[in-house]
Amino acid sequence: MWMLPVIDSDDFSAVSLTLLASAEGWQQQYKLIIDWGKAIPAKPTIRTPEHRIQGCELPLWLAHKQCNGVHYFALDADSNVIKGLASLVLAQVNGTSPVPHPAAALQQLGLEKHLTPSRNNGLKAIIARVEQLLAG
């Protein structure tokens, strides 16, 4: 099991699927995703092979811990877009128990029609890894 190094989980409280859904057009949604990515601080301590998510074209690292049935996550990436997309997934599950299924809410937003194939593959890899970690 991956463990969160000696850092706190990320704060995803500003990330809102409702806000993203109410944004006027894809350009405004894209700006929100980038802004959420910029808000995630760099975490060199989780940039290890065990935290790297496979299937993302650009590197993304995800650390996880579970405490008393509650899941906590921290992430890092070089790309603000990737960090923002990962934040959309993690905002739904960070600090929760029992956990929802993050893919369902994201499908309702229809992001896949605006993302490049490589970003769609990366988003799917993020969701798959998060769901794997949540399942234990």
What is the set of active-site residues?
Answer: 56
What is the C-alpha separation between 101 and 120, in angstroms, rounded? 17
Amino acid at 65: K
Q: How far is CA 135 from the centre of its chain?
A: 16
Residue 69 vs residues 26, 61, 62, 95: alpha-carbon distances, Å: 36, 22, 19, 9
**Nearest in space to 62 (alpha carbons), one of 74, 48, 79, 78:** 74
CB-side exposure of 135: number of CA atoms within 13 Å? 8
Q: Are 46 and 7 in contact (CB under 8 A)?
A: yes
Residue 134 in tokens: 């949540």
